[in-house]
């Protein structure tokens, strides 16, 4: 009887020792899970250079906005709208136009020169009362004419049409900027969702790893109890089943984390990475996360007013109304008649100055000079 009691006491002592060992291992399990995960996945130093410096949500948002195609298209649209505005402004700048023309032809192809020659011959013959001894003008002789002109043009004030173009360019720029803001906002929402999905998946992976370790420890304890005769083979089978379930859950959690990281990388414009890199980067993000709570201090009325002013659909409707009002003002202000005042001054036979200004305040000044080289037969007329 005493021997049986001694064996029972020894078994009880051994069982307590096993339980204490399991409990002590469980106390450090939370820290051990993260350390084991780091060893399994690789340290962050081995990360892709693109990911090594991305540690926070702010870093992720900067990269995502910079790589987003919708944002880039919106930026190009803004540049396009600004260029249209500059083109409209160019219509009010002074413009200089330099033109030249050189014509070489036979005298027979220029009736004006032929008439000029024969009229001069008739005057000489009438003055001398006898046929003049003049060189005969051949129709094959060449004649060349050179004309050069310099034109200054300036719209002194914008017309109704130019003012309409200016307003449309400004509205187009505002619309392009709103489209960019919308693209940035959509990118931020998508990236934030992906970021927190990664953090949740990483926490789930840690929990699955801890559950697997607990199941393994429980199995080891049951196996020791089986050796001591305090557990049955059925208990061992249940422990092994729990370990298999925990391993399966761990595999599912690892796959879920890889998918979450892949979704976040796609929203950032990056290609996919392997599983070890995904786990290492997720651990880096989790360690760098700022868990401080920022209170919401915006009043409801203030938030409602901001939403009314910045909601894309409402803002676009307001811009469409402005566009329609601008087109109506152009039609209303534009006149179907134009008054012009022109002047001409000829300081020399080969120089002509022309100027004009109309009721739309369009000023144009042209200076032209011409030079004609006549055949040698004209020299005998002097």
pLDDT at position 205 is 94
Using the predicted structure, report yes or no on whether residue 271 has a pLDDT greater than 90.
Answer: no
Final residue belonging to a domain, choices 244, 264, 289: 289
**Do 111 and 248 have their domain in common?**
no
Q: How far apart are CA 280 and CA 51, in angstroms?
A: 10
Mean pLDDT (whole number) for 305-332:
85
Q: What is the pLDDT of residues 107-122, one digit of tens each?
A: 777 777 777 767 766 6
Using the predicted structure, report yes or no on whether residue 14 has a pLDDT greater than 90.
Answer: no
pLDDT at position 159 is 87
Q: Is 337 part of a structural domain of the chain? A: no
pLDDT at position 211 is 95
Residue whose structure tokens are 């080289």: 373
- Which residues have a Cβ under 8 Å from the Cβ of 350 and sit 6 or more positions away? 369, 370, 371
| Count of domains for the chain | 2
Count other Cβ atoms within 10 Å, centred on residue 53.
9
Share of the chain above pLDDT 90, in %: 40
Q: Is 60 part of a structural domain of the chain? A: yes
**Do 62 and 106 have their domain in common?**
no
**Do 80 and 200 have their domain in common?**
yes
Using the predicted structure, report yes or no on whether residue 336 has a pLDDT greater than 50.
Answer: yes
pLDDT at position 314 is 85
**Do 80 and 119 have their domain in common?**
no
Higher model confidence: residue 4 or residue 105? 105
Q: Is 311 part of a structural domain of the chain? A: no
The domain containing residue 141 runs over which residues?
A: 101-149+345-356+363-381
Strands (E), the chain: 95-106, 142-155, 340-348, 351-358, 362-373
Mean pLDDT (whole number) for 287-292:
80
> Does residue 168 contact residue 174 with C-beta atoms inside 8 Å?
no
**Do 276 and 183 have their domain in common?**
yes
**Residue 15: pLDDT band by 50, 70, 90 thresholds?**
very low
Q: Is 170 part of a structural domain of the chain? A: yes
pLDDT at position 17 is 42
Mean pLDDT (whole number) for 198-214:
95
Beta-strand relationship, 142-155 and 362-373: antiparallel
Q: Is 78 part of a structural domain of the chain? A: yes
**Residue 195: pLDDT band by 50, 70, 90 thresholds?**
very high
**Do 105 and 185 have their domain in common?**
no
Higher model confidence: residue 18 or residue 242? 242
pLDDT at position 197 is 95
**Do 66 and 130 have their domain in common?**
no
Using the predicted structure, report yes or no on whether residue 158 has a pLDDT greater than 80.
Answer: yes
Q: How far apart are CA 223 and CA 240, in angstroms?
A: 10
Q: Which of 79-83, 286-290, 316-320 holds the top average pLDDT?
A: 79-83
Q: Is 155 part of a structural domain of the chain? A: no
Cα-Cα-Cα-Cα dihedral sign, residues 155, 161, 166, 169: negative
Using the predicted structure, report yes or no on whether residue 8 has a pLDDT greater than 60.
Answer: no
pLDDT at position 365 is 95
Final residue belonging to a domain, choices 272, 289, 306: 289
pLDDT at position 46 is 56
First to last CA, the chain: 162
**Do 191 and 238 have their domain in common?**
yes
Using the predicted structure, report yes or no on whether residue 60 has a pLDDT greater than 80.
Answer: yes
**Residue 91: pLDDT band by 50, 70, 90 thresholds?**
confident
Weakest-pLDDT range from 128-142, 173-187, 276-290, 312-326: 128-142
Give the chain's mean pLDDT. Answer: 81
Q: Is 172 part of a structural domain of the chain? A: yes
Q: What is the pLDDT of residues 124-133, one digit of tens each?
A: 666 655 455 5
CATH assignment of the domain containing 230:
1.20.1600.10
CA distances from 330 to 94, 100, 274, 344 (A): 23, 37, 61, 34
Using the predicted structure, report yes or no on whether residue 136 has a pLDDT greater than 80.
Answer: no
**Do 349 and 204 have their domain in common?**
no
Element (H, E) at 75: helix 69-90
Higher model confidence: residue 250 or residue 382? 250
Using the predicted structure, report yes or no on whether residue 296 has a pLDDT greater than 80.
Answer: no
**Do 142 and 223 have their domain in common?**
no
Let me know if 378 is exposed, middle or buried by CB neighbors in 10 A (0-12, 13-18, 19+): buried
Q: How far apart are CA 54 and CA 68, in angstroms?
A: 17
**Do 131 and 241 have their domain in common?**
no
DSSP string, 256-301: HHHHHHHHHHHHHTPPP--HHHHHHHHHHHHHH-----------HH
**Residue 22: pLDDT band by 50, 70, 90 thresholds?**
very low
Q: Is 307 part of a structural domain of the chain? A: no
pLDDT at position 275 is 82
**Do 125 and 273 have their domain in common?**
no
pLDDT at position 380 is 59
Q: Which two tokens stand for residue 85?
A: 């505005």
Closest CA to 124 of 369, 378, 300: 378
Q: How far apart are CA 313 and CA 334, in angstroms?
A: 32
């Amino acid at each position: 009887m005493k021997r049986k009691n001694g064996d029972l006491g020894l078994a009880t002592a051994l069982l307590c020792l096993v339980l204490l060992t399991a409990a002590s291992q469980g106390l450090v399990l939370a820290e051990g899970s993260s350390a084991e995960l780091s060893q399994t996945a690789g340290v962050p130093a081995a990360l892709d250079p693109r990911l090594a410096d991305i540690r926070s949500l702010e870093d992720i948002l900067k990269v995502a906005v910079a790589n987003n195609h919708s944002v880039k298209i919106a930026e190009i649209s803004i540049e396009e709208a600004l260029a249209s505005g500059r083109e409209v402004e160019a219509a009010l700048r002074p413009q200089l136009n330099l033109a030249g023309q050189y014509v070489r032809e036979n005298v027979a192809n220029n009736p004006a020169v032929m008439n000029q020659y024969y009229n001069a011959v008739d005057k000489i013959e009438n003055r001398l009362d006898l046929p003049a001894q003049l060189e005969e003008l051949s129709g094959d002789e060449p004649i060349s004419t050179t004309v050069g002109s310099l034109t200054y043009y300036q719209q002194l004030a914008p017309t109704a049409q130019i003012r309409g173009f200016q307003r449309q360019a400004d509205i187009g720029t505002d619309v392009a900027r709103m489209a960019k803001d919308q693209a940035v906002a959509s990118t931020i929402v998508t990236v934030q969702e992906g970021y927190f999905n990664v953090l949740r998946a990483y926490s789930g992976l840690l929990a699955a790893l801890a559950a697997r370790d607990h199941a393994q420890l429980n199995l080891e304890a049951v196996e020791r109890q089986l050796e001591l005769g305090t557990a049955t083979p059925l208990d061992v089978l249940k422990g092994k089943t729990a370990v298999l379930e925990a391993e399966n859950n761990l595999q599912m959690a690892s796959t879920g984390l890889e998918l979450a990281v892949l979704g976040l990388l796609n929203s950032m414009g990056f290609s996919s990475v392997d599983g070890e890199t995904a786990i290492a980067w997720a651990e880096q993000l989790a360690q760098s996360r700022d868990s401080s709570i920022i209170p919401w201090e915006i009043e409801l009325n203030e938030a409602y007013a901001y939403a009314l002013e910045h909601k894309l659909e409402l803002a676009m409707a307001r811009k469409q109304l402005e566009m329609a009002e601008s087109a109506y003002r152009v039609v209303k202000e534009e006149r179907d008649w134009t008054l012009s005042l022109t002047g001409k001054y000829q300081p020399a036979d080969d120089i002509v100055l022309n100027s004009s200004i109309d009721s739309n305040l369009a000023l144009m000044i042209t200076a032209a000079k011409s030079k004609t080289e006549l055949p040698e037969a004209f020299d005998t007329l002097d």
